[in-house]
Structure 1
Amino acid sequence: MKTLFSTILFTLLGSFAMAQNYTLPLWNGTPPLQKEMNLQEDVRDENIIRIANVQTPTIEVYLPNKQIATGEAVVIYPGGGYAILAYDWEGTDFAKWLNSQGIAGIVVKYRLPISESLTDPKEVPLLDAQRAIRMTRANAEAWNIDPAKVGVMGFSAGGHLASTVSTQYDHEVDRAKDAIDALSARPDFSILVYPVISFRDAAVHSGSRKNLIGENASQELQDRFSGELNVDENTPPTFLVHAQDDKGVPIENSLLYYNALNKHGIPASLHIYPKGGHGFGFGMGKGAVENWRSVLLDWINHLD
């Protein structure tokens, strides 16, 4: 009986170990560009888990069973207008779905620029985004990930962050560095879901722009954070999806980025659905847009 009990317990623990996920801090000690203020993170579960005032940025790592692992990893930036993070709706839910397809999902709880503790708020989300990619590569062997197959995925303002790290992956700020900083922060591919791209007036999502760079930012700063102006020949292959009836983030954002990618000869796939609105997530119950994840998987499977 004791042997049987031990066998059952071992099996249960083994199953739990395979299913568990890891949460790791992005930085040791106080994160760069932040001062100690003893501020508290705000987490609210209102059908969607919304996180605000992030003080300790983390990555939450979801790994697929090794038997189905493809070696690919997707670093996920939830949206929320740079004011909150829609942490499950555009983060952990997608990490779990990616796991079912053999792909590692790395959800980033990045700091938001409206926090009072930040010393240079506009630089902080990108800094955390870069760090998450580098940490994924640093742990590639342990997590059964190919370091040459690390992509990013961002939703809405998280899409803006994903496009920013895709075009400014080598941007540096004055800070202390460690061994992880020697690794590349360039994504191998990008997935942008109803993304904020441009901070120019024609397509701007005013809330994201205001929260990241302020209401009266210079034209130079607006241009720096307009992704379509920063695409070059080294920008990674990109998948874009948007709904035509998006009243939150105009479809022009995806169109501008796609045109810039096409101009520079970057492989890009743009998918526009007539209905879905903004923030459709999985698209469940919203018509044809519900199929966008199948289209995405086909695109990932055919990446060079």
Structure 2
Amino acid sequence: MNRFSLFVTALAFALPTAVTAQGIPVEPIATPPQTGAIALGTGGVPGMPAESWFTLASRPTVRNVATATLLPVLPDKAKATGAAVIIAPGGGFLMESMEAEAMKPARWLADHGIAAFVLKYRLDATPASLDAFKQAALARFAAAAMAGAKGGAVIPAPAPALADAQAAVKLVRARAGEWGVDPRRVAYLGFSAGAIMGVDLVKTAAPGTTPDLFAAIYPSMAPTTVAAGAPPLFVAMANDDELFGKQGYGLPDSWRRAGRPVELHVYEHGGHGFGFDGKAGTTSTGWSTALLTWLGAHGWLTK
């Protein structure tokens, strides 16, 4: 695999996008308004450069996050079901795809009466310049691609990010009354790195932090330890996933072997990082419909 191909793999892991030989445009943008975002109070990241926003293939993305926040996206009260979903976007713990894997699914969930909460978690530091950042991403994702090709686990969740996920679950439950949420119906939806973090969240099982449902979208498929009280699991991925497609199905099989509920959707094509919309022209475009059906089966669509 040459240097360009490795970088393409990196970018594919970061965001849902069709990669071509022309590369992917990366452009700096101003920090968008994040009205209503709540600081989680989990601390900072020493030596972190200033938070930086950019578009990757025209999709808003953030890096160098030193302060974790949770942004509520609430449904109209007339259609609210009382259920909630915390959303953790992907990006290899170097960046976060804040539209395709966060705000878009949040608005969709709210349209279906489910309170959504977008988690912007702390990241590993990257160089301030975009050019240097590309090189850092190249190294990170090259290692991830190689590990995934060998069937191994890829990039465990850093401790600060995991602590942010734990704090997010606690906060939603603590303020459930304020947001019209049932504290016994708090799900977690993670994409890629966010899904890897969700596996660690469930496995760690710190008091008050285990979600009631867990949806993992193109996660690492490596097997894991599953506790007797693990929440029901939903997995969606593509068979041709560049990072995790050769790992087998160890993650959902771990749930099955532990006697816990699990649902697995494997799409023939879609690659890694097909995002909320799925990859055009493939059946991966139907994954969100499958997720909604699964949420409904567990009572997330009714009061």
Normalising by structure 1, report the TM-score. Answer: 0.73
The alpha-carbon deviation at position 45 of structure 1 amounts to 2.4
Which residue, 216, 232, 255 being the options, matches 1:192? 216
**Displacement of 1:231 after TM fit?**
1.1
1:272 to 266, 271, 275: 266
Amino acid paired to 1:73: A
Q: Which amino acid aligns with 1:287?
A: T
Distance of 1:100 and 1:21 partners within structure 2: 19
Do structure 1's residue 25 and structure 2's residue 61 form an aligned pair? no
> What percent identity do the matched residue pairs reach?
32
Q: Distance in 1 between matches of 2:104 and 2:39?
A: 20
Deviation at residue 50 of structure 1 after TM alignment: 1.3
Question: Which blocks of at least 5 consecutive residues in structure 1 are unaligned?
Answer: 1-19, 171-182, 199-227
Unpaired stretches in structure 2, ≥5 consecutive residues: 1-33, 128-156
* Partner secondary structure for residue 108 of structure 1: strand
Which one-letter code corresponds to 2:290 in the other structure?
V
Match of 2:67 in 1: 56
Quote the Cα distance in structure 1 between the aligned partners of 2:193 and 2:244.
9
Measure how far apart 1:196 and its partner are: 2.2
Please tell me whether residue 71 in structure 1 is matched to residue 82 in structure 2.
yes
Partner of 1:140: 176
Is 1:123–2:147 an aligned residue pair?
no
Q: Which amino acid aligns with 2:295?
A: I
- Give the counterpart letter for 1:185 in structure 2: T
Alpha-carbon shift at residue 186 of structure 1 (Å): 0.8
Q: 1:249-301 CA distances to partner (integer Å, 9 max, x unpaired)? A: 32536x11111000011000001110111111121523222111111111111
Match of 2:149 in 1: none
Number of matched residues?
Answer: 235
Provide, for residues 99-132 of structure 1, a one-character-per-residue CA deviation record: whole Å limited to 9, x for no partner.
Answer: 111111111110013469xxxx931111000001
Cα RMSD (Å): 2.1
Task: Tell me which stretches of 4 or more aligned residues in structure 1 moved more than 6 Å.
Answer: none
1:50-90 CA distances to partner (integer Å, 9 max, x unpaired)?
11110111011100001111111110110001111011110
SS, match of residue 165 in structure 1: helix
SS in 2 for 1:133: helix
User: C-alpha distance in 1, partners of 2:246/2:38?
Assistant: 35
Indicate if the aligned counterparts of 1:21 and 1:62 stay in contact, CA closer than 8 A. Answer: no
Distance change in 2, residues 1:284/1:97 (3 Å): farther
Is residue 2:97 matched to residue 1:103? no
> Distance in 2 between the 1:275 and 1:268 partners?
22
TM-score (norm 2): 0.73
| 1-structure distance, mates of 2:115, 2:49 | 32
- Please name the residue that 2:191 is paired with: 155
- Counterpart of 1:239 in 2: which secondary structure? strand
SS in 2 for 1:44: strand
Max radius of gyration: which structure? 1
Matched with 1:88 is 99
From 226, 231, 238, the equivalent of 1:236 is: 231
- Assess if the C-alpha contact under 8 Å between 2:63 and 2:94 holds in 1: yes
